[in-house]
Amino acid sequence: MHPELFDIGNLTIHTYGFMIMLGAISGYLYMANAGQKELGIKPEKIQNLALYIIVAAFIGGKLLFYMEKPDYYFSPPSNMLKNFRQGFVFYGSLLFAIPVAIWFFRKEKWPLWPVLDRLAIAGVIVHLFGRMGCFFAGCCYGTPTDSILGVTFTDEHSQANPLHTSLHPTQLYEATLLVTILGVLWMFKRHKRFEGQLFFIYIIMYAAGRSVIEIFRGDLRRGFIIDDVLSHSQFISIILITITVWTYLRFRKKAAVKKK
């Protein structure tokens, strides 16, 4: 679509980075507002949390991206610096950010599950902007299709491949999934049965939806556990769904027992 937003002298502002910035600001504003009003957490503490999460998400997203093709990126290691600003895996960011966030909660003595519930909503907001950024950049593109939903990328700077060919807009599929998740979380927020419910719903819905969307992905560099059958992201999704559903049912059972 439009990978490059505009130029300032010799500096090019990329649409992907701009959307990530908007997402980070929006997610922070929600978290700062909800944290202060609902949990009594000062906004400056949320700023510190945001910094830790950004660093953890960057490292995790990059590391898992490298691990998808270790023979290339580590032989020699200098290959890791090629196109350094590109190439992140969301699950890597998520799996690194959550433990760091929990560590920070413990350090600040915040209530774990209530904060994770709010963080789930903030995370969906950030992710939604990120996927829109992917669409503009052309990354995370889909397979060729004759469907009326197909989108053709023509910009020479786009990462979509091939250009001038109708592709499944998997970025928009995922953005739609995230909007749906956001709506569900917002609905459940007012009628929670137990703390942590929003966080669990987010993980389950995203992992399930991501598994389906992976079927239409065309960027093969994301890697496969079983070639053309089970991608890395689908494998991680299955594990997350299994663990989270089991935990969700345990929490729900405990909440039901407490009400009796």
In the chain, where are the structural domains located?
Answer: 4-193
- Please answer whether residues 166 and 152 qualify as being in contact, where contact means their C-beta atoms are separated by less than 8 angstroms: yes
Q: Summarize the confidence of residues 22-34 as an average pLDDT.
A: 95
Q: Which residues pair with 226 in a beta bridge?
A: 230
**Helix, strand or coil for residue 195?**
coil
Instruction: Tell me the pLDDT tens digit for each residue of 44-76.
Output: 999 999 999 999 998 998 888 777 666 656 666
- Its pTM stands at 0.91
Report whether pLDDT(173) > 90: yes
Q: In sequence order, what are the residues at sequence separation of 6 or more whose Cβ sits closer than 8 angstroms to the Cβ of residue 180?
A: 205, 209
In the 8-state DSSP scheme, what is residue 156?
T
Host H or E run for residue 182: helix 170-189
Host H or E run for residue 25: helix 15-39
Report whether pLDDT(244) > 70: yes
Q: Summarize the confidence of residues 91-96 as an average pLDDT.
A: 91
Instruction: Tell me the pLDDT tens digit for each residue of 124-140.
Output: 999 999 999 999 999 99
pLDDT at 75: 66
pLDDT at 77: 65
Report whether pLDDT(220) > 90: no
pLDDT at 120: 97
Residue 242, both tokens:
């299994």
In the 8-state DSSP scheme, what is residue 148?
T
pLDDT at 257: 78
Q: Summarize the confidence of residues 224-236 as an average pLDDT.
A: 87
Closest CA to 219 of 208, 232, 206, 203: 232
The alpha carbon of 102 is separated from its chain's Cα centroid by a whole number of angstroms, namely: 17
